[in-house]
Amino acid sequence: MNWPPDTILITGAAGWLGSRLVESLSRGLPDCDAFRQPATNARLRCLVLPGQDAAALSSLSPRVEVCEGDLRNPADCARFCEGAAGAVLFHTAGVIHPKRVSEFYAINVQGTTQLLDAAVRAGVKRAVVMSSNSPCGCNPHPDHLFDELSPYRPYLNYGRSKMQMELAVKARAGKIETVLIRAPWFYGPNQPPRQTLFFKMIRDGKAPIVGGGRNLRSMAYVDDLCQGLLLAASVERAAGQVYWIADRRPYAMNEIVDTVERLLETEFGQKCAHKRLRLPGLASEIALLTDKTLQALGFYHQKIHVLSEMNKTIACSVARAERELGYAPKVELEEGMRRSLRWCSERGIRF
């Protein structure tokens, strides 16, 4: 694969992952030797929603071109891909916490298919598409790790929409090179308010620990996730494949919360309550039943959905990405959370 191409397309460019990817392309990825230097000759065409503030993107580099559009509009998809023959497309846009269930399918499924069809017509060479752990659901037992051969067991409508998206991507593999990246819960700079709220809950002693807190969660530091995306775009053999990208090992919920609490107090001068909102495992099962009922009626409630997952193991292996892509995650939980908190502190974001 000739890397970098003349044009790189990025959807969701104003979002958490998309903005960090644009930074990595325009300024380089400091922790990764292969991508430490920026993609200096490539045009970076960034799709943002109409009305979204794109000033931070435009300030990164004169090579950044901002294009307003909505994936639900085929004409916007066509305009975004126009003149991009031979380009690489990074599709990071999607909806995770909508108000209505229908948005999962309108954006994650229909929006993706319209974007890919426009990319095919424009002659885009490769599409690297962000998926999730949700098409595989939750691990069948606590010691299990998902890999690329794990079957689909989608978790509610978000998982079903991402499964349908993956199937649509695979169906177009003969028309355009495709790579699917599955990432779990990620963390790091450029985080949205929901992640800052998580830090605040830990500080105030309100972080929920459901069951014993020993269930494992894979997490991905955002710059390592960018490394995985760039490798998926540039490694020849990645075409047509699926890869899990995450930190090298999963973490127990207790470890995640304890690590953030320790950093808040010892390095960022925050007085922590040293408490947890301890709930029985049944709390997540009740939340799951409520979540299913609401979603069956077409509604989505973020806090109920998140609570439904809090007692579950969602963990993966990155062995295939290490073996085939040369993926080498550089940042683990403590350093990643340290960088997250520092990013907030430097911008005056209060917990």
- The domain ranges of the chain are 7-191+217-250+313-330
Per CATH, domain 7-191+217-250+313-330 is 2.60.40.1080: no
- Percent of the chain exceeding pLDDT 70 equals 100
Please name the helix (run of DSSP H) or strand (run of DSSP E) that holds residue 252, with its range, or none.
strand 251-252
Q: What's the pLDDT at 257?
A: 98
pLDDT for res 2: 84
Query: Which pLDDT tens digits describe the chain residue by residue (351 residues)?
Result: 789 999 999 999 999 999 999 999 999 999 999 999 998 889 999 999 999 999 999 999 999 999 999 999 999 999 999 999 999 999 999 999 999 999 999 999 999 999 999 999 999 999 999 999 999 999 999 999 999 999 999 999 999 999 999 999 999 989 999 999 999 999 999 999 999 999 999 999 999 999 999 999 999 999 999 999 999 999 999 999 999 999 999 999 999 999 999 999 999 999 999 999 999 999 999 999 999 999 999 999 999 999 999 999 999 999 999 999 999 999 999 999 999 999 999 998 887
CA-CA distance, 253 to 165, in Å (whole number)? 29
Q: Any residues with CB less than 8 A from the CB of 51 and at least 6 apart, and which? A: 68
CA distance 11 to 108: 12
Kindly tell me the burial class for residue 340, based on how many C-beta atoms sit within 10 Å of its own C-beta (0-12, 13-18, 19 or more).
buried
Cβ contact 71:95 at 8 Å:
no
d(CA 344, CA 174): 43
Q: Which of 199, 190, 4, 162 is nearest to 90 (CA)?
A: 4
348: exposed, middle or buried (C-beta count within 10 Å: 0-12, 13-18, 19+)? exposed
Q: Give Cα 125 distance to the centre of its chain.
A: 23
